[in-house]
Structure 1
Amino acid sequence: MPSDAVFYQAAALCLTYPDDDFIARLPLLREAAPQLRKFTDHATVTPPPELAAHYVRVFDSGNRHSLYLSRWQDGGTGRRDRCLVRFEDVYKAYGIEFTGTELPDYLPAVLEFTARTGDTDLLTEHRACLERLRGRLTDVGTPYACVLDAVCATLPAARE
């Protein structure tokens, strides 16, 4: 059974744009995180241009399948700024300076943070957001739903 850190890092990679580095890492991802095998098997047999086009169709469709967790919670309101600051504060508490080109609530960044620290609080706090994203990905029949299924399975149940 792989460690949680390996699983969260693998899930982060699975939710990033499928560039050449991702394609090269697929065999390692497949072996390192069996919980993601349904997705990695799909990615392995799908031609890279088709995989990339599918990623763009799924995740570049506005907010419908947003990988930015605060969009699910706070939308475009001023509260979103406070939410982003909260993510940055949590990263800083662990001595991690968020310097990526994405915003700090970008799900692959949160998964990588979780892999590095073992702290699942940000994921748990946004469990309802993850569930809504998972539901929408399932509704459109994308294999990316399998990644969200596996991530959600590691977290405590969402609070009502």
Structure 2
Amino acid sequence: MRADHATLLRALSALLAYPDAELRAALPEIAAAVRGASALDAAARDDLVALAEEIAGLDALEAETRYVDLFDRGRTTSLNLFEHVHGDGRERGPAMLELRQRYLDAGLEPRGGELPDHLPVLLEYLSCRDEAEMREMLGDCAHILRALGNTLLRRGSRYAAVPAALLALADAPGLDPDAPTPPPEDIDRTWEERPAFEAPMPDDPRPPRRAS
């Protein structure tokens, strides 16, 4: 893979990472990498740099809270790709194992606590592969990237610049701000904790169940 493609993919991966102190310290370097990315047009580069500058300009707690609220509070903006396809269904496990094995076959051992289908992890992997594989894999998940990006656009988030850039790298149709909004899904609220105990009905004479 060309060096500028690899550097750009790592920069895009970083922009989607949790904005902790280490990432915030690297934002000037990330922005510089984006500015030098010939694979994207000027408008795409400007949008990505604006995202980096926005993150840098936020209070650390505000940046972290916004990130969690945006990416960890529902399926439609999840960065775990298979969650968009399989949800919590049993098909997700085998797909995850297959993707992890693909990383291992390439001599790359995933580190950290993120799942193999976490988009920043996938981008780190692709930064080590050739352009043909990059376009193939980004093309395979283009419908997910487009849905994610359109949702971020509707929410007025500059993070939409990242899936837009990935679609450009895949030579796939870009984001559509006028795309119809999908109907709300109850499954998008599965992040909420379920109560540990069930309260008795008002006319139920039985005492509440006790934990064993």
TM-score normalised over the length of structure 2: 0.69
SS of 1:156's equivalent in the other structure is coil
8 A Cα contact 2:27 2:52, kept in partner: yes
Q: Of residues 56, 60, 64 in structure 2, which corresponds to 1:52?
A: 64
Which residue number in structure 2 is paired with residue 123 of structure 1? 138
Deviation at 1:75, TM superposition (A): 1.6
Higher helix share: 1
Q: How does 1:86-125 map to 2 (within 5 A)?
A: 86-118=98-130, 119-120=133-134, 121-125=136-140
> d(CA) in 2 for partners of 1:66 and 1:124?
18
> d(CA) in 2 for partners of 1:128 and 1:43?
26
Which residue number in structure 2 is paired with residue 155 of structure 1? 170
8 A Cα contact 2:76 2:84, kept in partner: no
Question: Cα RMSD (Å) of the superposition?
Answer: 1.8
Which residue number in structure 2 is paired with residue 141 of structure 1? 156
Is residue 84 from structure 1 mapped to residue 86 from structure 2 by the alignment?
no
Letter in 2 for 1:139: R
> d(CA) in 2 for partners of 1:103 and 1:26?
24
Per-residue displacement from partner, 1:26-52 (whole Å, max 9, x unpaired)? 110111112221211212222222111
Per-residue displacement from partner, 1:35-81 (whole Å, max 9, x unpaired)? 22121121222222211111011011121310000011122211111
Larger radius of gyration: 2
Letter in 2 for 1:101: G
8 A Cα contact 2:96 2:117, kept in partner: yes
Greater relative contact order (Cα < 8 A, sep 6+): 1
> d(CA) in 1 for partners of 2:153 and 2:98?
29
> d(CA) in 2 for partners of 1:72 and 1:21?
29
Is residue 7 from structure 1 mapped to residue 11 from structure 2 by the alignment?
no
Which residue number in structure 1 is paired with residue 179 of structure 2? none
SS of 2:77's equivalent in the other structure is coil
> d(CA) in 2 for partners of 1:156 and 1:25?
28
Structure 1: which 5+ residue stretches go unaligned? Answer: none
- How many pairs are equivalent? 158
TM-score normalised over the length of structure 1: 0.90
Structure 2: which 5+ residue stretches go unaligned? Answer: 36-44, 174-212
8 A Cα contact 1:91 1:98, kept in partner: yes
> d(CA) in 2 for partners of 1:88 and 1:57?
27
> d(CA) in 1 for partners of 2:29 and 2:72?
27
